[in-house]
Amino acid sequence: MTGPIDSDSLARAPKVLLHDHLDGGLRPATVAEIAAEIGHTLPVPDVAELGEWFRRSADSGSLERYLETFVHTVAVMQRHEDLVRVAREAAIDLAADGVVYAEIRYAPEQHLEGGLSLDEVVAAVQQGLAEGEKEAASAGTPIRTGQLVTAMRHAARSREIAELAERHRDNGVVGFDIAGAEAGFPPSRHLDAFGYLHEANLHVTIHAGEAFGLPSIWEAVQVCGTDRLGHGVRIMDDIEVIGGKDEYGRPAAKLGRLAGWVRDKRIPLELCPTSNVQTGAASSIAEHPIGLLKDLRFRVTVNTDNRLMSGTSMTQEMTGLVQQGGWTLEDLRWVTINALKSAFIPFDERLALIEGVVKPGYARLGAG
Ligand SMILES: O=c1[nH]cnc2c1ncn2[C@H]1C[C@H](O)[C@@H](CO)O1
Ligand SMILES: [Zn+2]
């Protein structure tokens, strides 16, 4: 099916999400309620304006300013019950949006101000995700979730966080990530953690190639041995578009050594179109390199990054690509299967979701 896609089909299409921050996806009403309970002052008093405030403030043109908004979400995620609630709601909201598999990330080291230990934070999030999964299943929208524990790249706790991930790998944690301001904080600062994770056979993704270019991607891939790239959109700096089509009917382009490596090795790109427009990594959804990277057959996946700060959802990201980028249902099916192939759960479980959920779901919509 290559014609226009109606919004109902987009809403019903099975979706897979690899890059979604727990502290970037709260419901505005939840932020407001918990803030009132704990006495945290929010920038706007009216809950009706809060969602718009996050979106507008994150629309800053810089990753550093975008990240400043997290102070208000992290503030309301310090008590056990609040972490459980936020994780539970995340699973429910994603499931209601048609997401059938989601890896949800956050930095446990940012949730210790209420006196919880790192292990208690991970356990609280796991409790919430499990409750959310149960509720979503009863509502007829089953979802499978996994935690990615993030270490903040400006801090110095990555080895400790890597060990935390290993301790909880049989209880919900499927991988490790580093996040935060990119410029000035290269991934190689955290080699100790990555070495430990490799020895433990634990999956790794690294935010790289978002606010900083090829050196960051190169380090993440070649020095730190990442399995996936969080964003990675700046791989474009190593691609020269020649114009016209090649012998396979794809856009004619010359790939540099690093771009060639990333494509040849099928290293997944966790692309987040709306977030990139907000931080200035792309000028618009229509102009976002995700379309070109898809046409060049990189292992492209579509993600939300921060649903609250971007005022987005998987359905909305896909709608933007369809309406502004000319994507087809076949394209959406392809990136969804790409995402599951790149997921950090065991191969047989990925396959079961691809064959049992994603392919039949798209077939019902007329694709595949
Ligand atoms: O897109 C991002 N790039 C780098 N860091 C990010 C991004 N979105 C969220 N973060 C940070 C802020 C959060 O507090 C932290 C953990 O989720 O990760
Ligand atoms: Zn991110």
pLDDT tens for each residue of 130-163: 999 999 999 999 999 999 999 999 999 999 999 9
> Which is higher by pLDDT, 103 or 3?
103
Q: Tell me which residue has its CA closest to atom 16 in ligand 1.
A: 106
Q: What is the mean pLDDT of residues 266-294?
A: 96
Atom of ligand 1 nearest to the CA of 107: 16
67 lines ligand 1 (CB under 6 A): yes
Is pLDDT at 2 greater than 90 in this prediction? no
Distance 208 CA to ligand 1 centre (A): 11
Tell me: is residue 21 an annotated ligand-binding position: yes
Atom of ligand 1 nearest to the CA of 106: 17
Q: Tell me the CA distances in angstroms from 336 to 40, 134, 270, 292, one per residue in order.
A: 39, 23, 12, 17
Q: What is the mean pLDDT of residues 21-28?
A: 98
Q: Where are the alpha helices (DSSP H) in the chain?
A: 7-12, 28-38, 47-58, 63-68, 70-75, 80-96, 118-138, 158-167, 191-199, 214-218, 257-264, 273-279, 290-295, 307-310, 314-325, 329-341, 347-353, 359-364
124, 80 Cβ separation under 8 angstroms: yes
Whether ipTM > 0.95 holds is yes
Atom of ligand 1 nearest to the CA of 180: 5
Q: Is 135 a catalytic residue?
A: no
Nearest ligand to the CA of 180 is: 1
Summarised one tens digit per residue, pLDDT across range 51-66 is: 999 999 999 898 888 9
Tell me: is residue 93 an annotated ligand-binding position: no
Q: What is the mean pLDDT of the chain?
A: 96
Summarised one tens digit per residue, pLDDT across range 180-205 is: 998 899 999 999 999 999 999 999 99
Summarised one tens digit per residue, pLDDT across range 246-278 is: 999 999 999 999 999 999 999 999 999 999 999
| 156 Cβ neighbours under 8 A, 6+ residues apart | none
Distance 68 CA to ligand 1 centre (A): 10
- The band of 126, judged by pLDDT with boundaries at 50, 70 and 90, is very high
Instruction: Supply φ then ψ for residue 195, to 5 degrees.
Output: -60, -45
9 three-class SS: helix
Nearest ligand to the CA of 62 is: 1
Ordered structural domains, the chain, with CATH = 16-361 (3.20.20.140)
Distance, in Å, from the CA atom of 329 to the CA atom of 322, rounded to the nearest integer, reads 8
pLDDT at 3: 59
Tell me: is residue 119 an annotated ligand-binding position: no
pLDDT at 332: 97
303 lines ligand 1 (CB under 6 A): no
Q: Where are the alpha helices (DSSP H) in 280-313?
A: 290-295, 307-310
Instruction: Supply φ then ψ for residue 363, to 5 degrees.
Output: -60, -40
Distance, in Å, from the CA atom of 181 to the CA atom of 207, rounded to the nearest integer, reads 9
Is pLDDT at 234 greater than 80 in this prediction? yes
Catalytic choice (210, 219, 270, 317): 210
Give pTM, 2 decimals. 0.97
Q: Write out the DSSP string of 250-276.
A: SEEEEE-HHHHHHHHTTPPEEE-HHHH
323, 359 Cβ separation under 8 angstroms: no
Length of the chain measured in residues: 368
216 lines ligand 1 (CB under 6 A): no
- The band of 7, judged by pLDDT with boundaries at 50, 70 and 90, is confident
Distance 174 CA to ligand 1 centre (A): 18
Distance 55 CA to ligand 1 centre (A): 15
Is pLDDT at 172 greater than 80 in this prediction? yes
